[in-house]
Amino acid sequence: MLAILLVSAFLSGCSVSPTGRNQLTLYSEDTMAQQGSQSFEEMKQQLPISQDTKINRNVQCVAEALLKTAELKPVEWEIVVFDQPDTVNAFALPGRKIGVYTGLLDVAKTDDQLAAVVGHEIGHVLAHHGNERVSTTMITQAGLAILLIGLQTQDMNSPELTAALTGGAQIGIILPFSRAHESEADTIGLLLMARAGFDPKASVVLWQNMSQAGGDGPPQFLSTHPSNESRIEGLESHMDEAMALYREAAHHPQCPAR
Ligand SMILES: [Zn+2]
């Protein structure tokens, strides 16, 4: 019965990402938007929000230029700067939410570099990566449950085997998958920033800054994120296309200084 449910979930939930990758999205846009909005509300309650007018204006301006280019309506989006100097990060959520931590602004030193990060985050939303991630996790867990029930009936079950299977699914299915999301968001973000009139070469400088600021993180094979070096390689492989879009861009955003 569970197996039939899994197969029908696959069939009904198949879609194609902006770069042409087949993906599994089991949840409705509304459900994802609700989840995104709820998480965002919780973050706003828990974290201090930056009251720095200059910083807010600058981040707003960069994000708006990208949203407009993606044919999204900036007025419908909530863009919040969290006052977290030690967090070098940003995110975008279904439900039209963007969060930027002040720590990012030390690493993304120019508007073009900030646009590279925010463009990447918008890329995750445009490609429905959140939906795909929760859908795949759900299916993987259901698949594992079936496997474990099968093993149990054959008297082969052991805590070690369960742990090995669960860990294997994590490393074999979920991790490479997150990396596929990262490189896809990099590509979408790169082309989006270029179309919006931000210099796409700044994306490479940004990841070089990231390396200087925080090293390369955990070993790549165990990390959900590609190394900064492989990110730069991926970005470089789309740079000609991005530079052509940048040259064609109607205008170059002039955002107020931070
Ligand atoms: Zn990402």
Could you tell me if residue 19 is inside a domain? no
- Predicted pLDDT of residue 3: 67
Distances in whole angstroms, Cα of residue 46 to Cα of each of 32, 39, 41, 49, 83: 21, 11, 9, 9, 11
Residue 121 catalytic?
A: yes
- Compute, in angstroms, the gap from residue 216 CA to the centroid of ligand 1: 15
- In three-state form (DSSP H/G/I as H, E/B as E, the rest C), the secondary structure along the chain is CHHHHHHHHHHHCEEECCCCCEEECCCCHHHHHHHHHHHHHHHHHHCCECCCHHHHHHHHHHHHHHHHHCCCCHHHCEEEEECCCCCCCEEEECCCEEEEECCHHHHCCCHHHHHHHHHHHHHHHHCCHHHHHHHHHHHHHHHHHHHHHHHHHCCCCCHHHHHHHHHHHHHHHHHHHHHHHHHHHHHHHHHHHHHCCCCCCHHHHHHHHHHHHHCCCCCHHHCCCCCHHHHHHHHHHCHHHHHHHHHHCCCCCCCCCC
CA–chain centroid gap for 200, Å, is 18
- Compute, in angstroms, the gap from residue 1 CA to the centroid of ligand 1: 36
Is the Cβ–Cβ distance between 28 and 135 less than 8 Å? no
Token pair for 248: 């064609």
Could you tell me if residue 80 is inside a domain? yes
pLDDT per position as a tens digit, 225-251: 778 889 999 999 999 999 999 999 988
User: CA-CA distance, 156 to 135, in Å (whole number)?
Assistant: 28
- Compute, in angstroms, the gap from residue 124 CA to the centroid of ligand 1: 7
Residues 178, 17, 74, 118: is their CA dihedral positive or negative?
positive
Could you tell me if residue 3 is inside a domain? no
Catalytic residue among 29, 42, 121, 182: 121
- Compute, in angstroms, the gap from residue 147 CA to the centroid of ligand 1: 31
User: CA-CA distance, 191 to 203, in Å (whole number)?
Assistant: 11
Provide the number of structural domains found in the chain. 1
Could you tell me if residue 71 is inside a domain? yes
- Compute, in angstroms, the gap from residue 183 CA to the centroid of ligand 1: 8
- Compute, in angstroms, the gap from residue 148 CA to the centroid of ligand 1: 32
**CB-based neighbours (< 5 A) of ligand 1, an ion:** 182, 185
pLDDT per position as a tens digit, 119-165: 999 999 999 998 898 888 888 777 777 777 777 766 666 777 777 76
- Compute, in angstroms, the gap from residue 156 CA to the centroid of ligand 1: 39
Show the domain range for 223. 26-248
- Compute, in angstroms, the gap from residue 180 CA to the centroid of ligand 1: 10
1 compared with 14, residue with greater pLDDT: 14
Could you tell me if residue 13 is inside a domain? no
What's the whole-number average pLDDT of the chain? 87
Could you tell me if residue 123 is inside a domain? yes
- The number of residues making up the chain comes to 258
pLDDT per position as a tens digit, 44-74: 999 999 999 999 999 999 999 999 999 999 9
Could you tell me if residue 96 is inside a domain? yes
User: CA-CA distance, 77 to 95, in Å (whole number)?
Assistant: 8
- Compute, in angstroms, the gap from residue 159 CA to the centroid of ligand 1: 34
pLDDT per position as a tens digit, 73-111: 999 999 999 999 988 899 999 999 999 999 999 999 999
- Predicted pLDDT of residue 172: 64
